[in-house]
Amino acid sequence: MNVSKEFTASVVTTAVESGQSGIGYWARVRAYDWEGDDRTEAVISDWKIAGREHMVVLDHDTIVAGLKRITDPDADVGVHQSYRFDILGAVTFDDAGLIDAELADMIVQTAVLGKVIYG
């Protein structure tokens, strides 16, 4: 899967900066570094897994892994087919503007947790 760094940076930005509409209802942002349109990273922790913090870096590779899993039709990731098509369309057209806070949350959860658990 060929995904631009601009696309993944936008997904991280949307997930983090959307607060409770993004990942803010299940994850804490420990560090956030916006370095332009092609490089954005965040360190998040999920305080609900096994009652302890689980730190993860959201970067290009992490987001690509989530996108690959979501767009794999055989993967059980807890994402409705219509959302999968929306995400696949955004990736295909390299248009991260099509990724809203809800879709960014699904991408991050799938990247970090293997599937959508929250929301």
Query: Which DSSP string do the residues of 60-78 spell out, in sequence order?
Result: HHHHHHHHHHHH-TT---S
Q: Which domain holds residue 36?
A: 5-110
Q: CA 101, 113, 12, 76 torsion: positive or negative?
A: negative
**Is residue 92 assigned to a domain?**
yes
Does a structural domain hold residue 119?
A: no
Tens-digit pLDDT profile for residues 54-105 = 778 899 999 999 999 999 999 999 999 999 999 999 999 999 999 999 999 9
Residue 38 has pLDDT above 90, yes or no: no
**Residue 51 has what pLDDT?**
61
Burial 32-41 (b: 16+ CB within 10 A, else e): eeeeeeeebb
Residue 117 lies inside a defined structural domain of this protein:
no
How many independent structural domains does the chain possess? Answer: 1
Domain contains 116:
no
Residue 118 lies in a domain: no
Name the pTM for this structure. 0.91
Q: Does any domain span residue 115?
A: no
Residue 40: in which H helix or E strand, if any? strand 40-45
pLDDT for 47 equals 56
For tokens 């991260």, name the residue: 96
> Which DSSP letter does residue 41 get?
E
Closest CA to 89 of 61, 75, 70: 70
Query: What is the band of 10 on the pLDDT scale with cuts at 50, 70, 90?
Result: very high
